[in-house]
Chains A and B, each alone.
Chain A
Amino acid sequence: MNPFEAVVIGSSAGGIKALSMVLAALPREFPLPIIIVQHLHPHSDSYLAHILGSKCELNVKQADEKETINKGVVYLAPPNYHLLIEEDRSFSLSIDKPVTYARPSVDVLFETAIYAYQDKLIAIILTGANNDGSQGVKKIKQIGGYIIVQDPATAEADAMPKAAIAASKVDSILPIEQIGPYLLHLVNRSIRLYRQCH
């Protein structure tokens, strides 16, 4: 089994708190990039990066157009732009129409993450009050990526996790406080297994 190469996360209503909890569980030397779409008001600025950065050890920043993706960095989609991943593992932005009423859209990030990382993806869906992300989850699952969904019972808004669970056979459904530790375990295990086989 190849080790994972990127983590993509989608969250909406209630997401800031949920993201803080997930990221707080990860060490500074976390070996993968983490790329996040959190739905925000179109005119909000970069405050989310400051909030999340203050809650965890990782470097959190808004993704820039054409920026090369690095491991151990948390990237956030800028408000009012879709965030896409290119095959050379850099970012593109677009102002295409909102997808499932959202810009940035989780589906757009997840679908294009497949172009760059194929099956070496871990996708996480957290709290949210719409169904953005469910199509992306379905496609990542189809190709063989790993899907974690926040237990709808622990989500501030349960529509988004429920839609993801309905759209595909997800790998893990976990309460929010277990997602960060489990992600770390999953990534470390995959790296160990990979080293044993090579």
Chain B
Amino acid sequence: MDDFETQNIELQLLLKAIYLKYGYDFRNYSKASIKRRVFHRLDKEGLESISAMQHKLLYDVSFFERLLLDLSINVTEMFRDPSFYLALRKFVMPKLKKHSFLKIWHAGCSSGEEVYSMAILLKEEGLYDRTQIYATDMNEVVLKQAKDGIFNISKLKQYTANYQKSGGLESFSDYYMAHYDHVVMDKSLKGNILFSDHNLATDGVFGEMNLILCRNVLIYFNRELQNRVLGLFYDSVSPGGFLCLGSKESIRFSKYSDAFEDVVRIERIYRRLNTDN
């Protein structure tokens, strides 16, 4: 019992040290996930306690960078949840076509697989050329991968199947070039994407968006941080604009619930109500 309490104190101090030294704020992340990741890094490095880890990360930037990769969410795939992309194509794209210029924010984009999925969708719907996509993540390492648009070939079979299930109109192979064990995404997909560093826990609004996607990021946050981020999205999405969350996430338990209506409930596609409604 005592050991557990001591470990929790150490963990709190570790997160505070990370925040004070490096500015990344994990203090309002879901604890279980953070704790598991910290313990796994502890085992891997052969450190004897979280306190020892704290000492190391304060003095060794390269160690912190490894830990940061552990702590940030960097699992994603192209057209993850094909039924979501199908719903986006069927119910959201027709509404977006009414606009002469579109701004889309992909928050917590990780290594970019879903950003390229969106770019493909926009191309096929004839919207790409009038769209600016902002793809943001707090981790510059994964953001660089996203910018490069180079992905391991091993997952391509699954991505192709996902693309087809999501209502893809072309052949998926039109969108990349294969090089040995990796694929390079077509350059024309990148032109209107701005990859940028943004931390949902600490940064603010940077523009008014027609569509915001933030999928499977909120599940890593506690209620307090979820509310902060949903507030940020509320302030960033134009009235009548769309917000898309992950399939197990919901706006319905937050204080912004009444400000959004369901577009496709099961796919967690919401629309901000017009304030004059």
Contact = CB atoms under 8 A, between A and B. Distances in A.
Q: Are A and B associated in one complex?
A: yes
B248 A93 contact: yes
A87 B73 contact: no
- Chain A interface bracket (under 10, 10 to 19, 20 to 34, 35 or more): 20 to 34
A87 B32 contact: yes
Given A65-B249, A66-B253, A92 B32 contact: yes
B117 to A, nearest CB: 15
Contacts of A64: 248
Contact of B75 (A86, A97, A111): A97
B253 A84 contact: no
A94 B220 contact: yes
| Residue with the greatest number of chain B CB neighbours at <10 A, chosen from A64, A84, A97 | A84
Interface in A144-196: none
A30 interface: no
B248 A66 contact: no
A134 to B, nearest CB: 16
B33 interface: yes
B33 A94 contact: yes
A47 to B, nearest CB: 15
A118 B4 contact: yes
B266 to A, nearest CB: 10
Interface in B172-228: 216, 219-220, 223
A85 B248 contact: no
Contacts of B219: 65, 81, 92-95
Interface string A4-28: 0000000000000000000000000
Contact of B248 (A65, A108, A111): A65
A29 interface: no
A131 interface: no
A130 to B, nearest CB: 19
A85 B32 contact: yes
A119 to B, nearest CB: 9
B32 A115 contact: yes
Contact of A92 (B33, B73, B246, B253): B33
Given A87-B31, A93-B219, A112 B249 contact: no
B33 A96 contact: yes
Interface in B50-73: 73
A78 interface: yes
A95 B253 CA distance: 21
Interface string B132-174: 0000000000000000000000000000000000000000000
B168 to A, nearest CB: 17
Contacts of B220: 92, 94
A167 to B, nearest CB: 16
A185 to B, nearest CB: 27
A81 B75 CA distance: 12
A118 B248 contact: no
Given A78-B248, A84-B36, A115-B35, A96 B75 contact: yes
Interface in A94-143: 94-97, 108, 111-112, 115-116, 118
B30 interface: yes
A91 B30 CA distance: 10
A80 to B, nearest CB: 9
Interface of B: 1, 4, 8, 30-33, 35-36, 73, 75-76, 216, 219-220, 223, 246, 248-250, 253
15 contacts: A65-B248, A78-B248, A84-B33, A86-B31, A87-B8, A92-B32, A92-B219, A92-B220, A93-B219, A94-B33, A94-B219, A95-B246, A111-B36, A112-B33, A116-B32
The 8 closest A-B pairs by CB, nearest first: A84-B32, A92-B30, A112-B32, A93-B219, A95-B216, A86-B32, A95-B75, A94-B33
